[in-house]
Structure 1
């Protein structure tokens, strides 16, 4: 009887479908609240790539799963959600987290638990230390690089350094962009960059009136304002500032949420400049074409935007690391594999690079200008005219 039961059990095992291995990853981001479009955009892009990878059999036969947790862009929510993902859900790594103030409180947890924070949607310096934190790896260009591209372009357009002002969020995110802009101006020999008009506003509010008043009191009326904030307060600021500064240029870093800003401002978004850290959405580059196809197949009707494109491309590079890490990788093996990738061609016109001393894959910045609700490359040489 025992032999018959053993044979029967063996036959049932052969008939039953195999249990597919699973690799679990986490995302801590604003999925609700005033910055929700940023978190949901990153989630959408990552899940689109994970879905196409899973449809092709996964990575070494393992299915990729993303556990998304809502921190509402608040550090006091980000830290416990991160801890739960590490301790209870045993995620292999975090991918695509959103925000600087939230990264400031979660990076120590990633270092403590030796668990990777990869591809965060922020260009802040806290994720780009020298030497780099082993367990922090970035996909995108930094805010220093974005604001440097702005300053270079404004000077090319004939705008003098003293004609530039800043409008920033009053926290680590705003500080990162402001410091980048000041450094870029200083690199061109302008020693008084720290004295330029600088209006600030509080995170998760839309109280921009005092910031605008500060800028309007500048001794030299600004012809350009570099802005570091999310789309809601930025839209309110531009809407009000256009009444007093109709000829002023408004420039934003990529974190603003480009499409959300257009949706908020409507026709008032015309000629607003946004630096992007991914190629144009309509580019015929193989990597962007693959994104559009994946979004159409797995995006539940979502339209292409710069945020989900960044999530998709970051996930595509991440999967290259997973493949290199071999079957059933642990947390350290994944870090080693990513940092051992060297040059990787994702079909973006130039290769991405990761290495032991280089934890940022891309340095590229694409300045765009809003025209008729769309995004075009900036021609700085004709801009001021």
Structure 2
């Protein structure tokens, strides 16, 4: 009777997408919508890693075939793309898919098909937290810095360092933004503080004048931004327009990308953000990271950035655990390898990746970075909530 209960049920895994010569994997990215500045380099990073793996002999002799679909950062398109990759392309794993609402849209059908959802381009809790009573949820893993824990670690640092009197937040009203809100509220409560202003905006909004005006009028002196790239820039431009220069602004890890200072220029100088690893810049990179930046630029004609790192790491992490699973690769053997506790270390100095049967999140180690002279620099590292 115990073996028949959900908590002890076997996770169904698929073996589709594996032949004697290849492993078919898929991803959906925003290649044409509001997050295309993130989706394109993530896709490029995935491609570069797959080509590197294939050039070195593949995974036990099997080459990776990567299927890329454009979601346009639209949940409906992401769902259709996921269905297509499951049913027509017969993917073995979904790797590095971008966006909280878009990943969530296709997650259930993916897991029901027994396909692993690996290392998406969102750190929302639903991508790694799982209910032991729902065995299919074991198929999701994440190696990005989680929004709740990283927000808590960064907020703790900012409050202890600057001792604000009124901490406020503006967040995107979706699963991602609510994760940032949760971290913000929980950390203030843990420090016996209360938020002064909580305001939100709808995904895709471009006008933040009312939110910024309200927080300034309320006297906020520390503002948490649960925003993504374009929205972070838009909010900070509005801050500049308002002449609001007596507050500190902290963005979530979803804004820790070079696009922010490239697009925002002077408006984002002094902005803080939670971060997982140092942003790679060509003139300061060394060793393997320098070689990687050179290879990326040669392949795609553009500079590598943080999103490219995320895509590259997602594919390299998959390859590590797929190799660990052995020559006779199956869905179950990949799952066992992922949950084995074996450690993967990337070339970028990120915290080591390690999963277990009860923890499908790689790490919560957080940095706080700040934009100084047009680039992200590390202010404080090794923060652990």
Task: Name the TM-score class by shorter chain.
Answer: 0.7 to 0.9
Map of 1:214-293 to 2, 5 A cutoff?
214-218=214-218, 221-242=219-240, 243-256=242-255, 258-281=257-280, 288-289=289-290, 291-292=292-293
| Residue number in structure 2 paired with 1:4 | none
Contact 1:278–1:309 at 8 Å: present in 2 too? no
| Residue number in structure 2 paired with 1:179 | 182
Map of 1:1-385 to 2, 5 A cutoff?
21-131=21-131, 133-160=137-164, 162-190=165-193, 192-193=194-195, 196-218=196-218, 221-242=219-240, 243-256=242-255, 258-281=257-280, 288-289=289-290, 291-292=292-293, 294-296=295-297, 299-327=299-327, 329-347=329-347, 348=349, 351-378=352-379
Give the drift of 1:260.
1.6
Q: Secondary structure at the match of 2:238?
A: helix
Which 5+ residue runs of structure 1 have no aligned equivalent? 1-18, 381-385
In structure 2, the CA distance between the partners of 1:22 and 1:125, relative to structure 1 (3 Å rule), is same
In structure 2, the CA distance between the partners of 1:127 and 1:286, relative to structure 1 (3 Å rule), is farther
- After superposition, give the CA deviation of every residue in 1:144-164 in whole Å (9 maximum; x if it has no partner): 12211221221222223x421
Q: Secondary structure at the match of 1:355?
A: coil
Give the drift of 1:349.
6.8
Distance 1:130 1:327 in 2: 29
State the TM-score, normalized to the length of structure 1. 0.85
| Residue number in structure 2 paired with 1:9 | none
In structure 2, the CA distance between the partners of 1:62 and 1:130, relative to structure 1 (3 Å rule), is closer
Q: Secondary structure at the match of 1:354?
A: coil
Give the drift of 1:366.
2.2
State the TM-score, normalized to the length of structure 2. 0.85
Give the drift of 1:296.
4.5
Contact 2:166–2:222 at 8 Å: present in 1 too? yes
Contact 2:24–2:92 at 8 Å: present in 1 too? yes
Q: How many aligned residue pairs are there?
A: 355
In structure 2, the CA distance between the partners of 1:284 and 1:320, relative to structure 1 (3 Å rule), is same
Give the drift of 1:359.
0.7
In structure 2, the CA distance between the partners of 1:288 and 1:253, relative to structure 1 (3 Å rule), is farther
In structure 2, the CA distance between the partners of 1:292 and 1:144, relative to structure 1 (3 Å rule), is same
Structure with larger Rg: 1
- After superposition, give the CA deviation of every residue in 1:278-329 in whole Å (9 maximum; x if it has no partner): 33425868774564354255x4233121111122222222111111222362
Distance 2:380 2:91 in 1: 44
In structure 2, the CA distance between the partners of 1:54 and 1:379, relative to structure 1 (3 Å rule), is closer
Q: Secondary structure at the match of 1:155?
A: helix
Distance 1:294 1:341 in 2: 31
Distance 1:213 1:237 in 2: 11
Distance 1:89 1:371 in 2: 45
Give the drift of 1:197.
0.9
Give structure 1 regions of 4+ aligned residues with deviation exceeding 6 angstroms: 283-287
Q: Secondary structure at the match of 2:370?
A: strand
Give the drift of 1:175.
0.6
Q: Secondary structure at the match of 1:134?
A: helix
Give the drift of 1:49.
1.3
- After superposition, give the CA deviation of every residue in 1:77-130 in whole Å (9 maximum; x if it has no partner): 111111111111100100101111122222211221111110011111112325
